[in-house]
Amino acid sequence: MAGIPQLVVDSKCSHGEGVLWCDRRQSVLWVDIDGRRLWLHRPGDGLTRHWDLPDRPGCIGLGQDNRLLLVLASSLHEAEVDADAPGELQLHHLADIDPALPGHRSNDGRADRHGNFVFGTMNQNPGHAPTGSMYQYSAAHGLRRLPMGGIGIPNSICFSPDGRTLFWCDTPTGTILQADYDPDAALVGAPRPVVPAGTAEGSPDGSCLDAEGRIWNARWGGARVVRFDADGKVEYSVPLPVPQPSCCAIGGAALDTLYIITSPEGLDAHALAEAPTSGGLYALPLGRPLGVPESRVELPA
Protein backbone atom coordinates (compact mmCIF):
# COMPACT_ATOMS: atom_id res chain seq x y z
CA MET A 1 0.00 0.00 0.00
CA ALA A 2 1.51 3.27 -1.08
CA GLY A 3 0.59 6.60 -2.53
CA ILE A 4 -2.19 9.11 -2.08
CA PRO A 5 -5.79 8.37 -3.03
CA GLN A 6 -6.86 9.86 -6.34
CA LEU A 7 -10.09 11.72 -6.99
CA VAL A 8 -12.36 9.50 -9.12
CA VAL A 9 -15.65 11.45 -8.91
CA ASP A 10 -15.74 15.18 -8.19
CA SER A 11 -19.28 14.81 -6.88
CA LYS A 12 -19.16 18.07 -4.90
CA CYS A 13 -21.37 16.59 -2.19
CA SER A 14 -22.59 18.99 0.47
CA HIS A 15 -21.99 16.22 3.00
CA GLY A 16 -20.85 12.93 1.45
CA GLU A 17 -21.37 9.80 3.56
CA GLY A 18 -22.28 6.11 3.64
CA VAL A 19 -20.05 4.74 0.87
CA LEU A 20 -20.23 1.02 0.05
CA TRP A 21 -19.34 -1.38 -2.78
CA CYS A 22 -22.00 -3.46 -4.54
CA ASP A 23 -20.43 -6.59 -6.04
CA ARG A 24 -23.49 -7.34 -8.21
CA ARG A 25 -23.57 -3.88 -9.74
CA GLN A 26 -19.76 -3.61 -9.72
CA SER A 27 -20.37 -0.09 -8.47
CA VAL A 28 -19.65 2.27 -5.62
CA LEU A 29 -22.68 3.87 -3.97
CA TRP A 30 -22.83 6.72 -1.48
CA VAL A 31 -25.14 9.49 -0.27
CA ASP A 32 -25.01 13.26 -0.04
CA ILE A 33 -26.86 13.97 3.19
CA ASP A 34 -27.45 17.70 2.85
CA GLY A 35 -27.67 17.51 -0.95
CA ARG A 36 -30.42 14.85 -0.63
CA ARG A 37 -28.93 12.59 -3.27
CA LEU A 38 -27.95 8.99 -3.89
CA TRP A 39 -24.80 8.57 -5.99
CA LEU A 40 -23.43 5.65 -8.05
CA HIS A 41 -20.12 5.21 -9.85
CA ARG A 42 -19.26 2.17 -11.99
CA PRO A 43 -15.48 2.06 -12.42
CA GLY A 44 -15.57 -0.52 -15.22
CA ASP A 45 -17.03 1.90 -17.78
CA GLY A 46 -16.88 5.17 -15.85
CA LEU A 47 -20.66 5.58 -15.55
CA THR A 48 -21.55 8.06 -12.80
CA ARG A 49 -25.04 9.26 -11.93
CA HIS A 50 -27.16 10.44 -9.05
CA TRP A 51 -30.81 10.45 -8.01
CA ASP A 52 -32.60 13.15 -6.00
CA LEU A 53 -34.27 12.05 -2.76
CA PRO A 54 -37.23 13.56 -0.88
CA ASP A 55 -35.29 13.94 2.38
CA ARG A 56 -31.74 13.77 3.70
CA PRO A 57 -30.32 10.24 3.54
CA GLY A 58 -28.16 9.03 6.42
CA CYS A 59 -27.03 5.69 5.02
CA ILE A 60 -27.96 2.89 2.61
CA GLY A 61 -28.00 -0.91 2.55
CA LEU A 62 -27.97 -3.46 -0.25
CA GLY A 63 -31.07 -5.61 -0.64
CA GLN A 64 -30.99 -9.25 -1.64
CA ASP A 65 -32.19 -8.30 -5.14
CA ASN A 66 -31.93 -5.08 -7.16
CA ARG A 67 -33.33 -2.96 -4.34
CA LEU A 68 -31.61 -0.66 -1.88
CA LEU A 69 -32.63 0.20 1.65
CA LEU A 70 -32.63 4.01 1.93
CA VAL A 71 -32.45 5.30 5.48
CA LEU A 72 -33.70 8.88 5.22
CA ALA A 73 -33.64 11.42 8.04
CA SER A 74 -36.75 10.10 9.78
CA SER A 75 -37.97 7.15 7.71
CA LEU A 76 -36.90 3.95 5.95
CA HIS A 77 -37.68 3.22 2.30
CA GLU A 78 -36.77 0.68 -0.36
CA ALA A 79 -36.29 1.35 -4.07
CA GLU A 80 -35.23 -0.44 -7.23
CA VAL A 81 -31.91 1.04 -8.30
CA ASP A 82 -30.75 0.35 -11.84
CA ALA A 83 -27.85 2.48 -13.04
CA ASP A 84 -28.88 2.04 -16.69
CA ALA A 85 -32.59 2.79 -16.26
CA PRO A 86 -33.78 6.35 -16.96
CA GLY A 87 -35.95 8.34 -14.61
CA GLU A 88 -36.24 8.96 -10.91
CA LEU A 89 -36.35 6.42 -8.11
CA GLN A 90 -39.71 5.12 -6.90
CA LEU A 91 -39.48 4.93 -3.11
CA HIS A 92 -41.68 2.63 -1.01
CA HIS A 93 -42.12 3.48 2.66
CA LEU A 94 -41.13 0.81 5.20
CA ALA A 95 -41.04 2.47 8.65
CA ASP A 96 -40.79 5.77 10.51
CA ILE A 97 -37.92 6.61 12.88
CA ASP A 98 -38.22 8.51 16.16
CA PRO A 99 -41.42 10.40 15.24
CA ALA A 100 -41.48 11.99 18.72
CA LEU A 101 -37.93 13.37 18.62
CA PRO A 102 -37.70 16.56 16.54
CA GLY A 103 -34.22 17.71 15.69
CA HIS A 104 -32.93 14.17 15.19
CA ARG A 105 -31.96 12.39 11.97
CA SER A 106 -30.45 9.11 10.87
CA ASN A 107 -26.69 8.86 10.48
CA ASP A 108 -24.29 5.95 9.98
CA GLY A 109 -25.44 2.35 9.37
CA ARG A 110 -24.44 -1.02 7.92
CA ALA A 111 -25.96 -4.45 7.28
CA ASP A 112 -25.04 -7.15 9.79
CA ARG A 113 -24.23 -10.72 8.69
CA HIS A 114 -27.77 -12.00 9.34
CA GLY A 115 -30.05 -10.00 7.03
CA ASN A 116 -30.59 -7.02 9.34
CA PHE A 117 -29.55 -3.38 8.99
CA VAL A 118 -28.18 -1.53 12.03
CA PHE A 119 -28.09 2.28 12.09
CA GLY A 120 -28.05 5.17 14.50
CA THR A 121 -29.77 8.51 14.92
CA MET A 122 -28.18 11.74 16.09
CA ASN A 123 -29.20 15.01 17.69
CA GLN A 124 -28.60 17.77 15.14
CA ASN A 125 -28.89 20.60 17.65
CA PRO A 126 -25.73 22.47 18.72
CA GLY A 127 -23.65 20.35 21.07
CA HIS A 128 -25.11 17.08 19.76
CA ALA A 129 -26.53 16.02 23.11
CA PRO A 130 -26.38 12.21 23.56
CA THR A 131 -30.04 11.57 22.81
CA GLY A 132 -29.58 9.50 19.66
CA SER A 133 -30.47 5.82 19.46
CA MET A 134 -29.40 2.67 17.64
CA TYR A 135 -31.85 0.56 15.64
CA GLN A 136 -32.05 -2.72 13.78
CA TYR A 137 -34.31 -3.26 10.76
CA SER A 138 -35.30 -6.34 8.74
CA ALA A 139 -38.40 -7.62 6.99
CA ALA A 140 -38.70 -10.38 9.58
CA HIS A 141 -38.69 -8.13 12.65
CA GLY A 142 -39.43 -4.62 11.39
CA LEU A 143 -37.74 -1.74 13.19
CA ARG A 144 -36.39 -2.51 16.67
CA ARG A 145 -34.50 -0.20 19.01
CA LEU A 146 -31.26 -1.67 20.32
CA PRO A 147 -30.73 -1.47 24.10
CA MET A 148 -27.86 1.03 24.05
CA GLY A 149 -27.30 4.25 25.94
CA GLY A 150 -27.80 7.71 24.49
CA ILE A 151 -25.46 8.54 21.60
CA GLY A 152 -24.43 11.94 20.27
CA ILE A 153 -23.19 11.09 16.75
CA PRO A 154 -23.26 7.34 15.92
CA ASN A 155 -20.56 6.24 13.49
CA SER A 156 -18.08 3.49 12.62
CA ILE A 157 -20.79 0.78 12.50
CA CYS A 158 -19.47 -2.56 11.20
CA PHE A 159 -19.49 -6.24 12.16
CA SER A 160 -17.11 -9.11 12.81
CA PRO A 161 -16.99 -11.90 10.18
CA ASP A 162 -19.41 -14.07 12.20
CA GLY A 163 -21.73 -11.12 12.81
CA ARG A 164 -21.66 -11.60 16.58
CA THR A 165 -19.58 -8.52 17.41
CA LEU A 166 -20.77 -4.99 16.70
CA PHE A 167 -18.28 -2.13 16.30
CA TRP A 168 -19.34 1.50 16.59
CA CYS A 169 -18.41 4.85 18.06
CA ASP A 170 -19.98 8.01 19.41
CA THR A 171 -17.81 10.43 17.44
CA PRO A 172 -17.53 13.19 20.13
CA THR A 173 -16.02 10.69 22.58
CA GLY A 174 -13.29 9.70 20.11
CA THR A 175 -13.33 6.01 21.09
CA ILE A 176 -14.25 3.09 18.81
CA LEU A 177 -16.08 0.40 20.78
CA GLN A 178 -17.12 -3.22 20.34
CA ALA A 179 -19.79 -5.35 22.02
CA ASP A 180 -21.35 -8.78 21.77
CA TYR A 181 -24.33 -8.67 19.41
CA ASP A 182 -27.30 -11.01 19.19
CA PRO A 183 -28.95 -10.35 15.80
CA ASP A 184 -32.02 -12.49 16.44
CA ALA A 185 -32.94 -10.97 19.81
CA ALA A 186 -31.63 -7.48 18.92
CA LEU A 187 -29.46 -7.42 22.04
CA VAL A 188 -26.09 -5.74 22.57
CA GLY A 189 -23.69 -6.51 25.41
CA ALA A 190 -21.48 -4.21 27.46
CA PRO A 191 -19.20 -2.03 25.32
CA ARG A 192 -15.43 -2.54 25.31
CA PRO A 193 -12.92 -0.06 23.84
CA VAL A 194 -11.14 -1.12 20.64
CA VAL A 195 -9.45 2.13 19.59
CA PRO A 196 -8.97 4.64 22.43
CA ALA A 197 -9.52 8.34 21.88
CA GLY A 198 -6.46 10.17 20.61
CA THR A 199 -4.93 7.10 18.91
CA ALA A 200 -4.95 8.83 15.51
CA GLU A 201 -5.42 12.36 14.20
CA GLY A 202 -8.99 13.54 13.77
CA SER A 203 -12.24 12.04 15.06
CA PRO A 204 -13.61 8.61 14.18
CA ASP A 205 -16.22 8.59 11.42
CA GLY A 206 -17.35 5.76 9.11
CA SER A 207 -15.54 2.40 9.14
CA CYS A 208 -15.31 -0.93 7.38
CA LEU A 209 -13.81 -4.27 8.40
CA ASP A 210 -11.41 -5.98 5.99
CA ALA A 211 -10.77 -9.64 5.18
CA GLU A 212 -8.04 -9.80 7.83
CA GLY A 213 -10.35 -8.52 10.56
CA ARG A 214 -8.82 -5.04 10.68
CA ILE A 215 -10.83 -1.84 11.05
CA TRP A 216 -10.37 0.92 8.47
CA ASN A 217 -11.65 4.22 9.84
CA ALA A 218 -12.20 7.61 8.17
CA ARG A 219 -10.76 10.29 10.45
CA TRP A 220 -12.95 13.40 10.28
CA GLY A 221 -10.71 16.45 10.52
CA GLY A 222 -7.61 14.26 10.32
CA ALA A 223 -7.26 14.19 6.50
CA ARG A 224 -6.68 10.44 6.52
CA VAL A 225 -8.08 6.93 6.71
CA VAL A 226 -6.40 4.67 9.26
CA ARG A 227 -6.12 0.89 9.45
CA PHE A 228 -5.92 -0.26 13.06
CA ASP A 229 -4.32 -3.52 14.15
CA ALA A 230 -5.89 -6.07 16.51
CA ASP A 231 -4.64 -4.05 19.51
CA GLY A 232 -6.20 -0.80 18.30
CA LYS A 233 -2.91 0.75 17.23
CA VAL A 234 -2.28 2.53 13.93
CA GLU A 235 -1.05 -0.05 11.43
CA TYR A 236 -1.33 2.01 8.26
CA SER A 237 -2.36 5.60 7.53
CA VAL A 238 -3.71 6.80 4.17
CA PRO A 239 -3.26 10.58 3.79
CA LEU A 240 -5.82 12.61 1.87
CA PRO A 241 -5.67 16.04 0.22
CA VAL A 242 -8.95 17.02 1.93
CA PRO A 243 -9.53 17.35 5.69
CA GLN A 244 -12.84 15.54 6.20
CA PRO A 245 -13.08 11.94 5.02
CA SER A 246 -16.39 10.66 6.31
CA CYS A 247 -16.65 6.98 5.34
CA CYS A 248 -14.67 4.25 3.58
CA ALA A 249 -15.25 0.90 1.89
CA ILE A 250 -13.10 -1.66 0.09
CA GLY A 251 -14.33 -2.68 -3.36
CA GLY A 252 -13.41 -2.96 -7.00
CA ALA A 253 -13.65 -6.04 -9.20
CA ALA A 254 -10.91 -7.76 -7.17
CA LEU A 255 -11.92 -6.18 -3.82
CA ASP A 256 -8.55 -4.47 -3.75
CA THR A 257 -9.44 -0.76 -3.88
CA LEU A 258 -10.12 1.55 -0.95
CA TYR A 259 -12.93 4.02 -1.68
CA ILE A 260 -13.30 7.12 0.48
CA ILE A 261 -16.12 9.66 0.42
CA THR A 262 -15.47 13.13 1.83
CA SER A 263 -17.35 16.19 3.04
CA PRO A 264 -16.94 19.99 3.03
CA GLU A 265 -19.49 20.44 5.85
CA GLY A 266 -18.53 23.31 8.14
CA LEU A 267 -15.39 24.33 6.24
CA ASP A 268 -14.85 28.06 5.90
CA ALA A 269 -13.97 29.81 2.65
CA HIS A 270 -10.21 29.52 3.23
CA ALA A 271 -10.39 25.80 4.00
CA LEU A 272 -12.55 25.20 0.93
CA ALA A 273 -10.09 27.09 -1.24
CA GLU A 274 -7.30 24.89 0.13
CA ALA A 275 -9.30 21.68 -0.46
CA PRO A 276 -11.71 22.35 -3.36
CA THR A 277 -12.41 18.65 -4.01
CA SER A 278 -13.92 18.16 -0.55
CA GLY A 279 -17.17 16.29 -1.16
CA GLY A 280 -15.62 14.05 -3.81
CA LEU A 281 -15.00 10.30 -4.00
CA TYR A 282 -11.39 9.07 -3.77
CA ALA A 283 -9.84 5.69 -4.53
CA LEU A 284 -6.56 3.96 -3.66
CA PRO A 285 -5.37 0.57 -5.00
CA LEU A 286 -4.36 -1.58 -2.03
CA GLY A 287 -2.25 -4.10 -3.91
CA ARG A 288 -4.09 -7.15 -2.60
CA PRO A 289 -7.73 -8.27 -2.12
CA LEU A 290 -8.63 -7.02 1.35
CA GLY A 291 -12.34 -6.43 0.80
CA VAL A 292 -15.27 -8.45 2.11
CA PRO A 293 -18.50 -8.49 0.05
CA GLU A 294 -21.06 -6.18 1.63
CA SER A 295 -23.73 -8.00 3.61
CA ARG A 296 -27.32 -7.69 2.39
CA VAL A 297 -30.55 -6.69 4.08
CA GLU A 298 -33.70 -8.78 4.11
CA LEU A 299 -36.37 -6.54 2.54
CA PRO A 300 -40.09 -7.30 2.26
CA ALA A 301 -41.08 -9.60 -0.61
Give the residue numbers of the binding site for substrate: 105, 107
- Classify 14 as helix, strand or coil: coil
SS (H, E, C) 218-239: EEECCCEEEEECCCCCEEEEEE
Write out the binding residues for a divalent metal cation: 17, 155, 205
Catalytic residue among 98, 170, 205, 210: 205
Q: Which residues contact 185 (CB under 8 A, 6 or more apart)?
A: none
Catalytic residue check, 205 = yes
Answer for the pair 94, 140: CB distance below 8 angstroms, yes or no.
no
Q: Which helix (H) or strand (E) holds 39?
A: strand 37-42
Q: What DSSP string runs through 182-217?
A: ETTTTEE---EEEE-TTSSSSEEEEEEE-TTSPEEE
From residue 104, give the alpha-carbon distance in Å to each of 52, 66, 89, 139, 158.
21, 30, 25, 24, 22
- Classify 138 as helix, strand or coil: strand
- Nearest 5 degrees, angle CA 113-CA 154-CA 180? 45
- Residues annotated as catalytic are 205
